[in-house]
């Protein structure tokens, strides 16, 4: 006796790393960043609909493993993500991630996907979407301090959404800068390697800090930041990990994703709990002010929020429809009679005999 085939309900579409790369390359990475930014902006615009459970973190001496769930009432999504700064020295990714999206009304998963690449894309798309709202108009030059795995995505997103044409690059490891220059040659950007962070910020309207030490660092000091810039600070994203001297915060208007989380994980962990910040969704919906004058320093204290992952899952789910960029995983036990899980198991013995 042969076992019955699993029903259609048993399968969950899965996007592997290989398929994610194919999908992104087929659409084009700049187009993906632009489209993703509009999905994120749309979800920020309906912010109040979302269940904003804090992420659930499991800390160890070596790093952290987190689950980041959220829901808009129709779909539920979560991301599994780790952060292990020492991984790089062992030839491993500092951050790896995977995500799941499912139907709120029956709990059945609708998508499982790699999210290491997708997180890099959504992080850059978020930064650029925020900068589109906050950076000085006619921005053309960005300083990029930290030229690691996230840097090229930031550069292309800022180029696509904010009109950045020149990148001034600095990393404590010149090999990282060389890698960035090699990767982005032919993308229509002027790439300038600088010998210090100080030199990199010269003439930049946008300053992106994207370094990875799990410690209090001072990538930018107060004297390096002139008036009329937008700072995109995305490397500080967990307790004890910051990049900016706190004096900069006092000269800036600070914008965050979700205030309770950023108080714990962001640059603002350096300042008192009543230090004023604005949530970006309010800026997008016109409830809070963004940039009000040319001399203002705007600072996006980005830590990454579950709604951005939700937007990314939603985007991939829409994009794989009617393509070959996914496979079906037999992941859900789905007996003909839902009460007959044991019978299904028993009937499968036909296969093994």
Q: Is 278 helix (H, G, I), strand (E, B) or coil?
A: strand
Choices 125-133, 264-272, 287-295, 342-350 (CB under 8 A): range interacting with a copy of itself: 342-350
Q: How far is the CB of 13 from a copy of itself (least distance, A)?
A: 13
Considering the complex, state which of residue 29 and residue 284 has its C-beta at the smaller distance from a copy of itself: 29
Q: Which residue in 43, 237, 253, 309 is the catalytic one?
A: 237
For 230-242, give the DSSP string: EEEE-S--BTTBE
List beta partners, residue 64: 59, 83
Phi-psi region of 233 (alpha: psi -120 to 50; beta: other; left: phi over 0): beta
Q: Kindly tell me which residue out of 2, 90, 215, 292 binds a copy of itself, with binding defined by CB under 8 A.
A: 90
For 117-186, give the DSSP string: HHHHHHHHHHHHHHHHHHSPTT--EEEEE--STTHHHHHHHHHHHH---EEEEE-SSHHHHHHHHHHHTT
Choices 35-43, 257-265, 270-278, 326-334 (CB under 8 A): range interacting with a copy of itself: 326-334
Q: How far is the CB of 52 from a copy of itself (least distance, A)?
A: 11
Please report where in the chains the tokens 């393509």 appear, as a residue. Answer: 323
Tokens in use for 258?
């979700």
Output the CA–CA distances (angstroms, integers) from residue 343 to 4, 337, 347, 350, in the order listed. Answer: 12, 9, 6, 12
The yes or no reply on residue 71 touching a copy of itself (CB under 8 A) is yes
Beta pairing class for 216-220 and 242-244: parallel
| Closest C-alpha to 55, from 75, 91, 80 | 80
> Can 237 be counted among the known catalytic residues?
yes
| Closest C-alpha to 200, from 176, 185, 112, 302 | 176
List beta partners, residue 232: 208, 300
Q: How far apart are CA 308 and CA 65, in angstroms?
A: 18
Considering the complex, state which of residue 255 and residue 326 has its C-beta at the smaller distance from a copy of itself: 326
Q: Kindly tell me which residue out of 36, 39, 84, 206 binds a copy of itself, with binding defined by CB under 8 A.
A: 84
Q: What is the CA radius of gyration of the chain?
A: 22
Binding mask 110-149 for a copy of itself (x = CB under 8 A): ----x-xx--x--------------------------xxx
Q: Kindly tell me which residue out of 29, 167, 220, 224 binds a copy of itself, with binding defined by CB under 8 A.
A: 29
The count of residues interacting with a copy of itself (CB under 8 A) is 87
Q: How far apart are CA 119 and CA 76, in angstroms?
A: 17
Q: Kindly tell me which residue out of 1, 8, 48, 106 binds a copy of itself, with binding defined by CB under 8 A.
A: 106
The yes or no reply on residue 65 touching a copy of itself (CB under 8 A) is yes
The yes or no reply on residue 48 touching a copy of itself (CB under 8 A) is no
Choices 229-237, 241-249, 266-274, 332-340 (CB under 8 A): range interacting with a copy of itself: 332-340
The yes or no reply on residue 332 touching a copy of itself (CB under 8 A) is yes
The yes or no reply on residue 94 touching a copy of itself (CB under 8 A) is yes
Binding mask 156-195 for a copy of itself (x = CB under 8 A): --------------------x--x--xx------------
The yes or no reply on residue 333 touching a copy of itself (CB under 8 A) is yes
- Phi/psi for 267 (5° steps) reads -60, -30
The yes or no reply on residue 152 touching a copy of itself (CB under 8 A) is yes
Active site residues: 237
């Amino acid at each position: 006796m042969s076992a019955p085939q699993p029903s259609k309900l048993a399968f969950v579409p899965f996007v592997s790393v290989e398929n994610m790369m194919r999908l992104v390359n087929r659409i084009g990475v700049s187009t993906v960043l632009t489209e993703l930014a509009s999905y994120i902006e749309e979800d920020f615009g309906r912010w109040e609909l979302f269940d904003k459970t804090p992420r659930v973190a499991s800390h160890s001496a070596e790093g952290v493993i987190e689950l980041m769930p959220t829901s808009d009432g129709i779909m539920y999504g979560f991301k599994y993500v780790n952060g292990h700064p020492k991984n790089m020295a062992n030839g491993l990714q500092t951050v790896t991630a995977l995500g799941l999206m499912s139907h709120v009304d029956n709990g059945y998963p609708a998508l499982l996907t790699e999210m290491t690449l997708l997180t890099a894309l959504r992080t850059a798309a978020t930064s650029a979407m925020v900068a589109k709202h906050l950076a000085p108009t006619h921005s053309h030059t960005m300083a990029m301090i930290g030229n690691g795995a996230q840097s090229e995505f930031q550069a292309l997103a800022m180029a696509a959404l904010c009109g950045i044409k020149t990148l001034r690059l600095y990393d404590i490891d010149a090999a990282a800068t060389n890698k960035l220059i090699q990767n982005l040659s032919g993308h229509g950007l002027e790439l300038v390697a600088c010998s210090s962070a100080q030199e990199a910020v010269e003439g930049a309207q946008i300053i992106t800090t994207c370094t990875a030490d799990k410690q209090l660092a001072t990538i930018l000091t107060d004297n390096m930041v002139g008036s009329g810039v937008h700072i995109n600070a995305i490397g500080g994203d967990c307790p004890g990990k910051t990049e900016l001297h706190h004096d900069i915060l006092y000269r800036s208007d600070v914008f965050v994703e979700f205030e309770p989380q950023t108080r714990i994980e962001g640059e603002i962990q350096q300042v008192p709990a009543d230090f004023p910040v604005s949530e970006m969704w309010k800026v997008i919906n016109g409830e809070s002010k963004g940039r009000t004058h040319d001399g203002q320093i705007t600072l996006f204290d980005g830590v990454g929020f579950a709604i951005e992952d939700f937007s990314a899952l939603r985007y991939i789910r829409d994009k794989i429809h009617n393509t070959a960029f996914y496979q079906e995983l037999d992941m859900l036990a789905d007996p003909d009679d839902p009460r007959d899980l044991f019978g299904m198991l028993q009937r499968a013995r036909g296969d093994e005999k």
